[in-house]
Structures are given as C-alpha cells and as structure tokens.
Chains A and B, each alone.
Chain A
Amino acid sequence: MSWVQATLLARGLCRAWGGSCGAALTGTSISQLPCQLPRGLHCSAAAYSSEQSLVPSPPEPRQRPTKALVPFEDLFGQAPSGERDKASFLQAVQKFGEHSVRKRGHVDFIYLALRKMREYGVERDLAVYNQLLNIFPKEVFRPRSIIQRIFVHYPRQQECGIAVLEQMENHGVMPNKETEFLLIEIFGRKSYPMLKLVRLKLWFPRFMNINPFPVPRDLPQDPVELAMFGLRHMEPDLSARVTIYQVPLPKDSTGAADPPQPHIVGKSVGMGAATSLTWPRPCQVPAGPRLGSLGLCAKSLAGHRACMSPHQESRVPISRLPWPATVQPGLGGVRRASWQNTEDPGVEEGPVFAMCMAGAHDQATLAKWIQGLQETNPTLAQIPLQTSSAGLEEPPLPEDHQEEDDNLQRQQQGQS
C-alpha cells in the first residue's frame, strides 16, 4: 500500500514540476497505473503530453470533432464575405471576447492574431495593436506583493505582451498614450512590457528622420510616375528637368500590328552648358539594365537606364557605368545571366549629363531617347556617340532613326 502511495506522490510531484521533471520521475511502474487520475491544477498540457509519449498506450476514442491544428484558427475564417481587412480582423478579435468570458487561451489567440496581421493588412495600424492588448484581462497580472514583484509575475503573459510590442517595433508603429495606459493596467508599471515600451518611446524619435533621401512608404504604382520619382530621387541637382519622352499605350489599344510602346522618362542635367563646350572626345552612352532599388522599393522600381557622359581623361570619377545589375522581368526587360556580363572596360567616369528610365531595354528605345535629347540640344547631333552594348537586347529592325541606329550597331560590332 505504501508503495502505491509513494508512486502516487511521485506522480503528483512530477505533474507539479512540469514536463522536464516528469520525464525523469515517471517510471515503468507508474506507467502501468490508469491514466484517468484527475489532473493537477498547475499541470500543463506539455507535461501531460510528454508523459503520454513515454507510455505506449492505445489511442483513446475521440469524443470531440477534429479541431484545427492551431487553436482559434476558426475565428479568423468566419468572415461572411471572405474579405480580409481591418473590419473582419476586429470582428475576429471581438468574437474571441464573446467566445469565452474568462478569456481562456488569450495568449494563444494573441500570438495567432499577430501572425495573421500581415494577411489582413493591419500590421501598421496602431488601433489594432491596442485592441490586441485590450484582450488581456486587467489587473490580474499585476504583482501584489514584494515576492511577486521580485520574481517575474506571469512570465508567459508578459512575453506575449512583449511580442506585441516587438511586432510594433518591426513595423515602425509608435505606441501612444492608450498603449501605455493599457500596459500599466494589465501588467503594472514595473514590468517587462512597460520597459519595452519605454525603450520604444526613447529610440523611435531618434531614428525617425535620419534618412537624408527619404522614400515614401507607398510608392506610385504607375511605372511612369515611379520612374519620375526615381529620377528625382537620384538626382542631386535640383535644376534638372524631367521629360517624359514616350508614354506606354493603354493595353486595350495595343493591336497585333503595333509593337508595344515602352515608356521613356528622361532627365537632363545642364545640357545647355554642356553642349556649348566643344567636346574633343566622343560622348559615350553606356546602357545598362538597372534595378533602381530605392531603399524600401526594390521590387517595384525596375527599368532600364542609360546615361550619357563625355569620355574624359580626368581622374575625378563622378559616374561609374554601366551598372552591373539586373532588371526584373515584370516591367519588361531582360534578366541578366550574371553580373560579370555587364563589365565594360572601355567606359571611364565622367560627368553625367542625362539619364533615363525606360520600360524596355533595346536599341530602339535608346535611339528614341537620344532623338528626344537632340530636339532640345541640336549640338548633340554633331557629337559622335558611343554606346556600350553590354546590357542591350538584340536590336530590332532599324526603321526611322537610321543614322543613330547605324551608329549604334557599328559601335556594338566594334565592341563585341
């Protein structure tokens, strides 16, 4: 009898101590006991499952229907129209509050909601984060005695609160007074989530505006506007003019006979002053497919850029061309096989007089752009142009810009 008592005691001990001790204490003699003993108050599910894994018992018949792998997953799938926006997200949060008055499993729910935020597009919304923090029961996790204050009181819940703040930090959401009030109400003033909040409030304003070349978070979707923004962003000279040489045709009007017309947006810098000089050397037009990855927007700003720079002997390097980069196929361009292909040893650095971004990346587009440049700068027609063919596609049939294309092709043959 005493043996049975001892094993029962050991069993209770191992439950109280959780999974790690339970694995050590559970012997074979214990495993033969029936598993229908009442579970202890502080027995966690992890400890129970670890005991189960040691015991090869037959699977119990399921009484309840099969649940989702992640608890509360079904709350997020219940939107009537199936749309995923802020309203349906807040509806799911509200439904969790109605689901159980005692807020059972709220830590699991908050972790799940944090993972779901990006799907619903609310990861930058401060009000939603405040709603998530509002799920926590108030006044329960605040330490009430000196002992509780010394040791971390309700550590899992505090970790969950920190996770919410961490996600706010990763998306650059600055907490406000309401967040602070909620955290004080939930965890108390001397708690780890409050410490995190103080750090956020201290460091966010310091790094908020340090970028001297700021990029807006939402970039224009139109490729022409995007190219204009990119050119303005790259150009330090404010007096430079942006010219749209060609706009893409709308999609419905593109017939089989019309070739697709790529957009060309160019920017010229002080071309008047430059063309008044007599250039002793040919002007170079190196072209390179270029992914203008502007900070946050590498995926959206693709296009071809070409720059003109006079061939100079000076050692002052101002531009370095062509750019070894790739162009994304989305906006019409070629994908380079490797970086090494764009190496062009003949090009040296010189001042940049014009650059452009285009949707396509071929000789015709380049010729069109140069023709547009010649309209404003007639001197350009007398200057021989060298192009580097490193990044260009196979030239289409030259039709109208005969001389430029011939020039380009000659240069290309000379270089390749």
Chain B
Amino acid sequence: MALVHKLLRGTYILRKFSKPASALYPFLGIRFAEYSSSLQKPLASPGKASSQREGDLQGDHQKEVALDITSPEEKPDVSFDKAIRDEAMYHFRHLKDEIVEGRPLHDVLLEQAKVVWQFRGKEDLDKWTVTSDKTIGGRSEVFLKMGKNNQSALLYGTLSCEAPQDGESTRSGYCAMISRIPRSAFERKMSYDWSQFNTLYLRVHGDGRPWMVNIKEDIDFFQRRNQMYSYFMFTRGGPYWQEVKIPFSKFFFSNRGRIRDVQHELPLDKISSIGFTLADKVDGPFFLEIDFIGVFTDPAHTEEFAYENSPELNPRLVK
C-alpha cells in the first residue's frame, strides 16, 4: 500500500511538471481539487511531456521520472513551494520571450503566405483534439496520428450514423478534429490575426468524402460559444494529394449548426481555432491526411463576401 502511495506521489510530481495547463491552479485555488484528482491517471509519456520544456528544468524532472519508476522506495522530493516557484519562473520566462522576441516590421507587413499548422512531429499533434459522436452516445470512432515519414497527420476512423438509444437523439454520425486555442504565458488566451490574408490553403489527401471546415472566432461571450463560420472541402480520393484553396469570403455564419439569417463575413483579426468535421451520412471507414494548413493572399480574389442578406428574411437590414 505504501508502495502504491509512493508511486502515486511520483506520478503526482510528473503531472505537476508535465501539464502546462495546470500551471495556474495553485493560484486559482478552486480548481485545486481537480488538479489533485488527476493523480489516479496513468503516467503520461515522459518524453512527450517534457519535450515541450527547455533548459535545466527538463533535465531535472527527467531525472525525477527515472528515479520514481526504477526505485519507488526512495523518497521523492515533494515541495509545493518549489513547484509553484518553478511554474512561475516558467511563465515569466515565456513572458520575457514574448516581449523580447519579434520580427522586423517589414516582414510582418509584407507577408504574403504563412503556414499556421503543419505536421512534422508528435508535438504538432498536441495542438489538436479529436472528437466524435461517442460523446453523445454514438458509435463513430476517430483517431489522429502521424502519417508515414512524419510528414503528415493522418486522421482516420469509422463513421457510424446509428443514433444513440437515449430516447431523444434521432440523428448521429460525426467526427471532428479541432485545433486547440493557442495559449501564451500565464495561460492567456491568444488568437490568430489573418487580416492580411484572404484565402485558406490546405494540402490534404482524402478518400473522396466531403469535409466541413469550421473556423471559430475568438469571443469572450458565453452565449456565442456555438457560433462558427463554415465552408466545405471536397476531396477526390485516389493516390493524389490535392491543394485546397478556400477564400475566406465563402465562409458562412452559423449558430449551433443552423445557418443564421443575418450573414456577415468572417472577422479575420481574431481567429481562435479551426476544425474539420465529417458528417456525410455514409457509414464506413474514412481517412484524411493533412500536410499543412496555411493562409495566403490571392490578389486575384476580390470578393468580400459571397452571401447577400435576403430581403425576405430580414427586411430591416435591406432597405
């Protein structure tokens, strides 16, 4: 029993260091219970966890992990003060990097294309999360892993339209891959500014299924959390890669999956996340390989917004 306890304490230390999202928990206090309730979770892979840290910190807790696993009898060094101090140091260092580092102004102003997400290693997958209708009781499955040669991400799984037997759901069948919201030092929410670009650029290899590309705006209002801007991405299947270019003017506005009557263009200066949804009502396996996701400026594209507001639906807007 004592050994299990030690193991758990060892895990605790690992979690404490390996989870950057929990950095502010000691300060918040309220979330502290959740923080310590993650003790029972299995060990996160130490390589993945520590690869995000740099400097002397990494060496330290790498050593600690090894120590815990090999000889649990040895008393690990548990200190709340040290943990808090280290986390604070980590965040202050990031803050300093944010302030000091930068790019020359002409670089930023004259930028024509930018790769926002690319898949070249395991740490790129940590920026993404996948979900399927298992969360509502469905049977779809979706997985995300690195493709061959570590050159792309492979999103694969099985779609199943069988509705969950909960008495109220009548339809089901979706799989999605959503990017995480970028965080800066002290876990502040960040957003992307794409206001100088006008086209989304994806290099994908699909199996012929249509996907929906959803872009979420960075918003602070709880009531608007289900609003997003969407358009479709059609893959052609076969062995060929394809380069999909979607102008931002094509994205339509929806709330809780329903297209709104009042349409407006996507605000490009505060982009929070991007997602891909598959829900084409066809049961069976699917896959989508993504090489990179970028944005670029297409000077030939001058359309501002593709959808006019209907005078029949909202007569007050159109006069």
Contacts and interface: CB of A to CB of B under 8 A. Distances in A.
B149 interface: yes
A293 B208 contact: yes
B148 interface: yes
Contacts of A195: 313
Given A211-B210, A236-B240, A324 B154 contact: yes
Contacts of A202: 310, 312-313
A53 B117 CA distance: 59
B147 A320 contact: yes
Given A199-B259, A233-B236, A234-B240, A298 B287 contact: no
A207 B307 CA distance: 11
Nearest to A194: B312
A202 B308 CA distance: 10
Contact of A293 (B209, B241, B259, B307): B209
B232 A320 contact: no
A318 B208 contact: no
Interface stretch (B94-102, B128-136, B278-286): B278-286
Nearest to A346: B148
A206 interface: yes
B217 interface: no
Contacts of B265: none
A325 B287 contact: yes
Given A202-B313, A206-B307, A317-B151, A352 B234 contact: no
Interface string A228-244: 00100111100000000
Interface string A315-340: 00111110111100000000000010
B209 A320 contact: no
A151 interface: no
A305 B152 CA distance: 22
A348 B286 CA distance: 22
Given A202-B313, A339-B156, A348-B149, A299 B240 contact: no
B313 A298 contact: no
Interface string B189-208: 00000000000000001011
Contact of B240 (A318, A343, A344): A318
Given A198-B310, A324-B287, A326-B285, A295 B240 contact: no
B218 interface: no
A353 B268 CA distance: 41
B303 to A, nearest CB: 14
B284 to A, nearest CB: 4
Contact of A299 (B236, B241, B282): B282
A203 interface: yes
A305 B154 CA distance: 20
A298 B147 contact: no
B280 A295 contact: yes
A293 B286 contact: yes
B298 interface: no
Given A212-B234, A320-B289, A321-B239, A292 B282 contact: no
Given A292-B208, A325-B285, A198 B312 contact: yes
Contact of B259 (A198, A203, A309): A203
B237 A294 contact: yes
Contacts of B286: 293, 298
B261 interface: yes
B238 interface: yes
B238 A298 contact: no
Contact of B207 (A291, A309, A317): A291
B236 A345 contact: no
Contacts of A297: 282
Contact of A233 (B148, B205, B208, B282): B208
Contacts of B238: 233-235, 292, 355
Nearest to A236: B240
A296 B282 contact: yes
Nearest to B285: A326
A121 B130 CA distance: 35
A210 interface: yes
A102 to B, nearest CB: 30
Contacts of A344: 148
Interface in A15-43: none
A343 B145 CA distance: 12
A333 to B, nearest CB: 13
Contacts of A293: 207-209, 237, 282, 284-286
Contacts of A113: none
B190 to A, nearest CB: 31
Given A298-B283, A325-B207, A319 B240 contact: yes
Contacts of A234: 208, 236-240
Nearest to A319: B239
A318 B307 CA distance: 35
Interface of A: 195, 198-199, 202-203, 206-207, 210-213, 215, 230, 233-236, 291-299, 305, 307, 309, 317-321, 323-326, 339, 343-345, 347-348, 352, 355
Nearest 9 A/B pairs, CB to CB:
A234-B238, A319-B239, A298-B284, A294-B208, A298-B282, A213-B236, A234-B237, A352-B239, A211-B234
23 contacts: A199-B259, A199-B313, A202-B310, A202-B312, A202-B313, A207-B232, A211-B232, A212-B234, A230-B237, A233-B236, A233-B238, A234-B238, A292-B207, A293-B207, A293-B284, A295-B282, A298-B286, A299-B282, A299-B284, A317-B241, A319-B241, A321-B239, A324-B156
Given A234-B239, A321-B239, 13 more contacts: A199-B259, A206-B307, A293-B284, A295-B210, A295-B234, A298-B286, A317-B241, A318-B239, A319-B239, A320-B205, A324-B156, A343-B148, A352-B239
Interface of B: 147-149, 151-152, 154, 156, 205, 207-210, 232, 234-241, 259, 261, 280, 282-287, 289, 291, 307, 310, 312-313
